[in-house]
Structure 1
Amino acid sequence: MEKNLLALKELRQVAQKMRTSGLRLIELNGKAWSVRLKFDETCAQLPPTPQPVLSATDVAPTRVCAPMPGKIILQHPLQNVAYAQPGQTVKQDEVLALLSVGGFYLPLRSPINGTVLAVSVDQEQAVEYGCEIVSVSASAGVFA
Structure 2
Amino acid sequence: MKISDIPQVASWLSEAGIATYELTGPDYRICLRRSVKARSRRGLSAGPRQDSAGPVRGQSDAVVASPGVGVFLRAHPVQEAALVEPNDPVAAGQPLGLLQVGPILLPVLSPRDGTVASIIAPDRSLVGYGDPLVALMS
TM-score normalised by length of structure 2: 0.59
Q: Which runs of 5+ in 1 are unaligned?
A: 1-31, 33-47, 139-144
The equivalent of 2:94 in structure 1 is: 94
The equivalent of 1:27 in structure 2 is: none
Question: Taking structure 1 as reference, are residues 116 and 55 closer, same or farther at Cα in structure 2, changes over 3 Å only?
Answer: farther
The separation in 1 between residues aligned to 2:82 and 2:51, in whole angstroms, is: 29
The separation in 2 between residues aligned to 1:85 and 1:119, in whole angstroms, is: 7
Structure 1: 4+ residue segments shifted above 6 A: none
| Larger-Rg structure | 1
The separation in 2 between residues aligned to 1:124 and 1:90, in whole angstroms, is: 22
Query: Partner of 2:100: helix, strand, or coil?
Result: strand
How many pairs align? 94
The separation in 1 between residues aligned to 2:137 and 2:122, in whole angstroms, is: 20
The separation in 1 between residues aligned to 2:47 and 2:77, in whole angstroms, is: 33
The equivalent of 1:23 in structure 2 is: none
By how many angstroms is 1:63 displaced? 1.6
The equivalent of 2:5 in structure 1 is: none
Query: Aligned runs of 1:1-144 on 2, under 5 Å?
Result: 51=48, 53=50, 56=53, 58=55, 61-138=61-138
Question: Taking structure 1 as reference, are residues 58 and 51 closer, same or farther at Cα in structure 2, changes over 3 Å only?
Answer: closer
TM-score normalised by length of structure 1: 0.56
The separation in 2 between residues aligned to 1:74 and 1:131, in whole angstroms, is: 15
Output the aligned Cα RMSD: 2.7
Question: Taking structure 1 as reference, are residues 56 and 82 closer, same or farther at Cα in structure 2, changes over 3 Å only?
Answer: same
By how many angstroms is 1:79 displaced? 2.1
Sequence identity (%): 30
By how many angstroms is 1:118 displaced? 1.0
The equivalent of 2:42 in structure 1 is: none
| Counterpart residue identity of residue 58, structure 1 | P
| Counterpart residue identity of residue 65, structure 2 | C
The separation in 2 between residues aligned to 1:121 and 1:57, in whole angstroms, is: 26
Question: Taking structure 1 as reference, are residues 77 and 54 closer, same or farther at Cα in structure 2, changes over 3 Å only?
Answer: farther
Structure 1 or 2: more strand by fraction: 2
Query: Partner of 1:84: helix, strand, or coil?
Result: coil
- The CA deviation string for residues 20-77 of structure 1, in whole angstroms up to 9 with x for no partner, is xxxxxxxxxxxx8xxxxxxxxxxxxxxx987255583526722211111100110122
Contact 2:47–2:62 (CA under 8 A) maintained in structure 1: no
Q: Which runs of 5+ in 2 are unaligned?
A: 1-25, 27-44
- The CA deviation string for residues 94-133 of structure 1, in whole angstroms up to 9 with x for no partner, is 0000000111111001010110011101111001110010
